[in-house]
Amino acid sequence: MTLRRSVFFLLAIAALLAASGCTWFRRELPRPGRTVLDSDVVEIPARRLGNFLIVEGKWDKRGPYRFLIDTGASVTLVTPELASRYPSQHLIPPATPLVRVKSAEGETALLTATTLRRLQIGGARFDDVQALIYDCASLSAHLGVKIDGILGFPLFRETILTLDYPNSRVVIQPRRAEPLLPGTTIAFNNDRRTPIIPLRLGNESFIALLDSGSDASLSLNPIGMDPAYATPPRAGATIATINGDRAQQIGRLDGALEIGGFRVEKPVVDLTEDLSSLGGGILQHFAVSFDQENGTVTFHRESTDPIPPEPRRSSGLSFTKTPAYWRVAAVVPGSPADAAGVQAGDLVTRIDGELVSAWDLQRYEELVGTADSIQFTFLNGTREEARLIEVFDLVP
């Protein structure tokens, strides 16, 4: 598989909560405390890993801390280490309650609620931040860098948040300012300040969550729709969640996705039973400004030309990663890796001769996107065995 198709439970948490009936969040979304900006335009460099934006914060001698910005999340998540280091002195949740959340498979997990005294990225400081405690070790292993938390959408409620993918930056402004970049503005379809907007696919309209915490392009729930396919859905990678994995169904639509005045020609689509969402695979083409006070989002792109389709390449392998090895989670049926006899549970120690610890998500995805084949070294007992696996077009 290509690792870019892995969508974590925690990165899609808002869509899951919106559909799951989790009343703790339905009654009132977590709100940040005081938000302080040191200027009218706070610009923060961001690192692109796959289709994710990662920002760093350092507000004392500790750190820096790395955070993934997730507009699809209705809550901020932080590691136990960060939660214990910066507890609020006057807004500790009563008896530190456990919060029940649902995974994509309908399983439940209990996370502890907390309040952070302070969280800062660049010139933007957030005081008394409500959060859930979550161990980000698996996410860190997947991305290849240590992640200390996921910044959910409500954290930025008092600001205008711009995710500028083309320029690898995040811009934060006071909430009554004008978006830094002009563009096409679309209103949210709800009054709960959740970034769900209307989209068009051919002659059909549907709604989708804007989810920067997913690296998918378009995750589509086809119920009530009759989508036409240029490439019919097929079994793809394994999608990982905290409570288990599920098989991906991926294809290419035969038509254009319309986002306001912008068009994405024949987008790659992941079929889902959850709320449809627009992930980083499409958002990466834009600077996207979220105005929660007015319930709008503005899309900016230098070119108004349609975004052309690109093939989705894959090694045919899904991995569960650790610093020492990558364990094969699943093999795409009918792929060259399948034909080569690779099986779930096999351990990979090297890629093109280098230890897997040298391969972060970005580097590995660039390899899959450009190479004709990849040499994977498998651990067989105490011996290493190298196999050359052909890379193929999972979705032409």
Where residue 6 falls among pLDDT bands split at 50, 70, 90? Answer: very low
Q: Reply yes or no on whether the pLDDT at 98 is more than 80.
A: no
Instruction: Give the residue from 217, 209, 85, 92 showing the smallest Cα distance to 149.
Output: 85
Rounded to a whole number of angstroms, the distance between the first and last alpha carbons of the chain is 15
Instruction: Tell me the fold of 312-395.
Output: Pdz3 Domain (2.30.42)
Closest of 209, 225, 205, 299 to residue 260, by C-alpha: 299
Any idea where the domains of the chain sit in the sequence? Answer: 3-174, 184-285+293-300, 312-395
203 vs 286, more confident: 286
Is 66 a residue whose pLDDT tops 70? yes
The conformation of residue 358, written as its DSSP 8-state character, comes to G
E strands, 267-382, are: 268-271, 277-278, 287-291, 296-300, 312-314, 317-321, 326-331, 347-351, 354-355, 373-380
Q: Do domains 184-285+293-300 and 312-395 have the same CATH topology?
A: no
Is the pLDDT at 385 greater than 90? The verdict is yes
CA-based torsion, 235, 4, 300, 275: positive or negative: positive
CATH code linked to domain 184-285+293-300:
2.40.70.10
Of 8-22, 58-72, 115-129, 224-238, give the lowest mean pLDDT range.
8-22
Phi-psi region of 328 (alpha: psi -120 to 50; beta: other; left: phi over 0): beta
Q: What is the pLDDT of residues 346-358, one digit of tens each?
A: 999 999 999 999 9
Higher pLDDT, 89 or 69: 69
Mean pLDDT, range 70-85, rounded to an integer: 93
- Per-residue pLDDT of 114-150, as tens digits, reads 999 999 999 999 999 999 999 998 889 989 999 999 9
Enter the pTM of the model: 0.88
Domain spanning 3-174: which superfamily?
Answer: Acid Proteases (2.40.70.10)
pLDDT band (50, 70, 90) for residue 211 = very high
Helix (H) or strand (E) holding 300, with range, is strand 296-300
Q: Which helix (H) or strand (E) holds 174?
A: strand 169-174
Q: Which amino acid is at 120?
A: Q
For residue 192, the model assigns a pLDDT of 86
Q: What is the pLDDT of residues 358-383, one digit of tens each?
A: 999 999 999 999 999 999 999 988 89
Q: How many residues comprise the chain?
A: 396
Provide φ and ψ at 277, rounded to 5°. Answer: -150, 155
Q: Report residue 105's pLDDT band, with 50, 70 and 90 as the boundaries.
A: very low
Confidence category of residue 80, pLDDT binned at 50, 70, 90: very high
What is the distance of C-alpha 359 from the center of its chain? 19
Gap between the Cα atoms of 371 and 359, Å rounded:
15
List CB contacts of 319: < 8 A, sequence separation 6 or more: 1, 3, 326, 327, 328, 329, 348
